[in-house]
Structure 1
Amino acid sequence: MNDTFKLPAQPVPVEIRRDWPRAEFNIDPIQGAVTEALGMRLASAFQPIYHPDGHAVLGEEALLRADLRRKPLAPQAAFAAARASQLLVPFDRLCRTLHLINFATYARPGRSLFLNVHPELLPAVERHGAYFERILGSQGFQPADVVLELSESDGVAAEPQAIARAVANFRARGYRIALDDFGHAHANFDRFWALAPDYVKLDRRLLRLASQDDTAARGLRQLVVLLRDAGSKVVALGVEDALQRALAIEAGVDGLQGYLLGEPGYRS
């Protein structure tokens, strides 16, 4: 697929080898560690999450980059292909392991790795986090270094008891939890109270509306106060210009993520 897709990188963790006997993690000079599965070439991109001061990086969100026959493929399409092949759980683990291997090449102390968890995995897997914990250990990390993101927009409350059980199991192992895209269409406070996430990532449309309307800006400030009072750290998504950054800081958020501060990129 790519002439640079040649050089051996990290050994394949035994847990991944069981699911993907022919898996390899190779080195691309631009994209870092890459792998192949289901005919797709997979790579990791990372977007920084900044402290409101705009200098300190609190963490990095890992994002899947996939292509098929050298044509970019949306992450949703890549996961749809895995679902169609009845390999959704192994595929999700493979992607998270790829992100972890890339993160390990440059991670600094105190910087967290934010990983998206496909919502269909939560009711489908037992002993949540145990399998991935062994993979973390093979790369010198522990669950406390990871924040697992559950997306509000993916309808993760379809099976609320299963979701609550999964979150409790993850927490018992030391993982932290983020509720992503909070406020997508509407803010589901029932889910927020039930999950008590360590982080809430506000849907980017909330900040966009706040930059256009004073009433929305006041509502944003009130929402941030409520979430922080409940014990969650708040990250503003979609910070794309100086006004949005100023509004987010004025609202009292704990972190900023968006193209103004840093676009998703490879770490090679």
Structure 2
Amino acid sequence: MIPPTIPNLVARAADHPFLGKHLALGHGAAGDIALARFDDHELTSAYEPIFDISVHALAQSLSSGAEGVDRFGDELGFQAVTQRLDAAPFDVFDPFDRIADDQELVAFDRMSRALHAINFFGAQRHGLLFLRVHERLLKSVKYDHGLHFSNVLMSFGLSPSRIVIELPAAAVAHKTFLGYLTKSYQHYGFKVAGNLSNAGQILSVSDTARLDFIKMDAATALRDATVKPLVGYASRLGIPLIFNRVMDEPQFEALQQYDVRFVQGPLFNAHYHDRTA
């Protein structure tokens, strides 16, 4: 089967009453990507790489530093970021503080998820697509989390199996709610990641909430000296652990002392953007 292109997927989105009003093919220098129109803004997608740094020898990585990340790490996948077309790379557009109505936020979320899926799959990117879910959205949708987005993807001819729905720490803190959300999204074909606000939250992860990935802020884990126990506990659970928001070289080098496998953050974004531009 021939993989769909971005123009193909934008054309399919036009068949959806809501998406057809908001999504369109870009123009000028952005003519090869999909754009979304929201509140007089033109929005597009950026993708933060998530690297598997165990692929090559760590000795090589230590000598090359983050500038050589493409020589020792392979991409597990990418975190989608919504940004204005005229903004600097990875300058996040966040509507959650300016929109009071939860249903309007649900609509924005559905629009942005479709936008990121079109730009990701239409460009034939490899790996997994990580999509964040805000706490307010989880509370606004009462049941069947993942049903609507799964139906949209299948109408595009895309599979939910390469998409990771990333839950906020507030959801992970509630074991019963976490179990329900995880099972619901997985039922509709998605993978699920959970963010930890602190190391102790990993205890909420169990067979009742069998996450596919766990994410932890690198600075917090290093400050609290919990990198090693987190790596060990996640290994016992058999769940991949991603340290995100890696800001600088010292943090990156400190993480490598503890057999950390997956990393993400601003340290790598500029280099990756330059390499793929």
TM-score (ref. length: structure 2): 0.75
| 1:13, distance to aligned residue in structure 2 (A) | 2.4
Letter in 2 for 1:36: R
In 1, distance between residues paired with 2:102 and 2:176? 27
Structure 1 partner of 2:35: 34
In 2, distance between residues paired with 1:255 and 1:113? 15
What residue ranges of structure 2 are gaps of 5+ in the alignment? 1-6, 56-71
Q: Does 1:55 align with 2:73?
A: yes
- Equivalent of residue 198 in structure 1, options 201, 212, 227: 212
| 1:257, distance to aligned residue in structure 2 (A) | 0.8
Structure 2 partner of 1:134: 151
In 2, distance between residues paired with 1:174 and 1:85? 25
After the TM superposition, which of the residue ranges 80-89 and 197-206 deviates more from structure 2?
A: 80-89
Tell me the matched-pair count: 246
Contact (CA 8 Å) 1:9, 1:25: kept in 2 or not? no
Contact (CA 8 Å) 1:206, 1:220: kept in 2 or not? no
Q: Residue deviations 1:157-192, cap 9 Å, x none?
A: 587644432221111222111112x2x356323533
Structure ranking higher in helix proportion: 2
Q: Does 1:256 align with 2:255?
A: no
After the TM superposition, which of the residue ranges 42-51 and 232-241 deviates more from structure 2?
A: 232-241
Alignment of 1:1-268 (within 5 A): 10-13=10-13, 17-19=16-18, 22-28=21-27, 29-30=29-30, 32-52=33-53, 53=55, 54-66=72-84, 75-76=93-94, 78-84=95-101, 86-109=103-126, 111-125=127-141, 126-152=143-169, 155-156=170-171, 161-180=176-195, 182=196, 184=197, 187-193=200-206, 195-206=209-220, 208-209=222-223, 216=225, 219-263=226-270
Letter in 1 for 2:78: E
What residue ranges of structure 1 are gaps of 5+ in the alignment? 1-6, 211-215
After the TM superposition, which of the residue ranges 129-138 and 78-87 deviates more from structure 2?
A: 78-87
Which SS does the other structure have where 2:267 is aligned? coil
Contact (CA 8 Å) 1:45, 1:265: kept in 2 or not? no
Letter in 1 for 2:24: F
Structure 1 partner of 2:67: none
Letter in 2 for 1:105: G
Contact (CA 8 Å) 1:201, 1:237: kept in 2 or not? yes
Contact (CA 8 Å) 2:193, 2:214: kept in 1 or not? yes
